[in-house]
Chain A
């Protein structure tokens, strides 16, 4: 298990709390809460070690488009980057 942290500048405010996903095999849950500072703080707790650069690449791309100031907590159980990206898109859409 590995814990990773990332930070991104944010120019907008996240509107509300949102939660998606399940910590099932190949899946992940994401909790999103608005943050007070102009940053997005991402914490990743993942069952698979050694993928820091892949997480960074996925998050870098995501935050090119998402500008909300938020605290984002990810509990990951081996999801692929495609699944991670999908869940990130879902949580900012406020979907379940």
Chain B
């Protein structure tokens, strides 16, 4: 008997995915014109191209492939069901409808922001199963490992007849998502605003793309990092002054990322005024990892900024960016090239400092935006707000956090949290136990959804002062330092005058007067721009605020 052929064991096929993809595309072939699919077939096409249980990436971060997600929500759940959705931001009603209809069941995501209430309800009702929270780049990375997509639904600004794509200012993570599918026989389905003869530049080559459909309207886009200076309050000017004096100046922070919010917008607007008073121009805040947000315009115009690399675009900034190619990353066509994956990577390894805010913090400085009744996720914060222990290059700021003289000591990234002790409505920011702990238990999550861990945080800033947590020796000292700046919250009321005085002596805690910051100077008139109109003036008329910001 020969071993060569045993009829019961068929030879293994090593090209199942390729075969499967070919079969699926063949099913929609009659409708296609090259790679272009007419819009009216999209729902049926999705029913044929996707299979129950498939892993499907739906592009949704700042921009969202909403024509494709709206169409998917209209698919027949008898044909298409139990999809496993991989999506950076659950932001739209149609994202939820896909689960409500039973078309999808499981989700791995990063951020739910506007839909956090609904997501919590759907999880409770059993309509949605959460795989895990992720930080943005972590989700992108898993698309190459254990969340490899069968299909991706993405969006681009334009396509040419061949199928090349222009993603322009809103490139974000489209190249990464497409790469994960294109090179492992996944299906790449793209909605575009426009089909043209010639693209301004090629962001994604046609060879990576399978199906292109012209959408019913331009893809959805949120100016998530645009903040109106008119809403910055005096206490935020105060914390911004402390940040510049007590952290940026002290540690010589040259490269940095500002998390979204008014607290950080205030810092940007204070550089040309307060920062200049302190003689810091050129010495700090030169290289930025940041969306092209309008509140950075005065600092750019005043000569503070050398470079900005961006995760995505901010609507209305296109002309300003085109006029400042020395500052931003732009293509030969003049428009921005953003890239969320590279930007997040830069935020991890190539930055002196991250600064952001949170909704809740416990006595150990663990922070989370997950609160009772809401499942929000964390976006990029866990990545940006973490120390990169693989880092090997030094900068003055990184080295300045060394507290021991051991021979194998290494530096550390500054990870700063800035909060007011209480939020509007008398709700304390500092709590004994994060809501996230309870929410994690109730939703059967394997770990509590903490955004940034207390031992990662090097500095905590409140309207009361700065806690230099990186200097704390042991957990008790860290807790005491947190309490010292936690105001009259239950955490803050644990502070004793004696202990706080000791910490101030040791340099673990600094109040405004210790930093030479006078609260009476913390007025809005210190802001280099106080309104959206001022930002337009600073930009020489190049910045065009979206309609919701235009009140003149």
Contact = CB atoms under 8 A, between A and B. Distances in A.
A24 to B, nearest CB: 11
B358 to A, nearest CB: 16
Nearest to A64: B497
B463 A86 contact: yes
Interface in B452-487: 462-464, 487
A9 interface: no
Nearest to B422: A80
A86 B488 CA distance: 14
Contacts of B497: 64
Contacts of A51: 426
A60 to B, nearest CB: 8
B110 interface: no
B425 interface: yes
B424 interface: yes
A70 B421 CA distance: 28
A57 interface: yes
B463 A58 contact: no
Nearest to A82: B463
Nearest to A61: B488
A90 B520 contact: yes
A95 interface: yes
B346 interface: no
Contacts of B424: 26, 78, 80
A74 B423 CA distance: 20
Contact of B235 (A54, A57, A64, A86): A86
Given A61-B488, A93-B520, A82 B426 contact: no
B526 to A, nearest CB: 14
B522 to A, nearest CB: 8
Contact of A80 (B238, B420, B464): B420
Contact of A81 (B238, B421, B520): B421
Given A48-B426, A57-B493, A82 B519 contact: no
For chain A, what secondary structure do more than half of its interface residues adopt (helix, strand, loop), or is it mixed?
helix
Contacts of A90: 519-520
Given A51-B426, A82-B462, A95-B520, 10 more contacts: A26-B424, A48-B426, A78-B426, A80-B422, A81-B426, A81-B488, A82-B421, A83-B235, A85-B463, A86-B234
A48 B425 CA distance: 8
A86 B497 CA distance: 20
Nearest to B427: A80
A26 B233 CA distance: 10
Contacts of A85: 463, 487
Among all A-B residue pairs, the 8 with the closest Cβ atoms? A57-B488, A80-B422, A82-B463, A82-B420, A81-B422, A81-B488, A82-B235, A58-B488
Interface in A32-74: 48, 51, 54, 57-58, 61, 64
A80 B493 CA distance: 16
A89 to B, nearest CB: 6
Most-contacted residue by chain B among A82, A86, A93 (CB, 10 A): A82
A47 to B, nearest CB: 11
28 contacts: A26-B424, A48-B425, A48-B426, A57-B488, A58-B488, A61-B488, A64-B497, A78-B424, A78-B425, A80-B421, A80-B423, A80-B426, A81-B421, A81-B487, A81-B488, A82-B422, A82-B464, A82-B487, A83-B233, A85-B463, A85-B487, A86-B234, A86-B235, A86-B463, A89-B520, A90-B519, A90-B520, A93-B520
A53 to B, nearest CB: 9
Nearest to B497: A64
Interface string B97-118: 0000000000000000000000
A1 to B, nearest CB: 15
Nearest to A94: B520
A90 B493 CA distance: 23
Contact of A86 (B423, B425, B519): B519
A81 B423 CA distance: 9
Contacts of B423: 80
Contacts of B421: 80-82
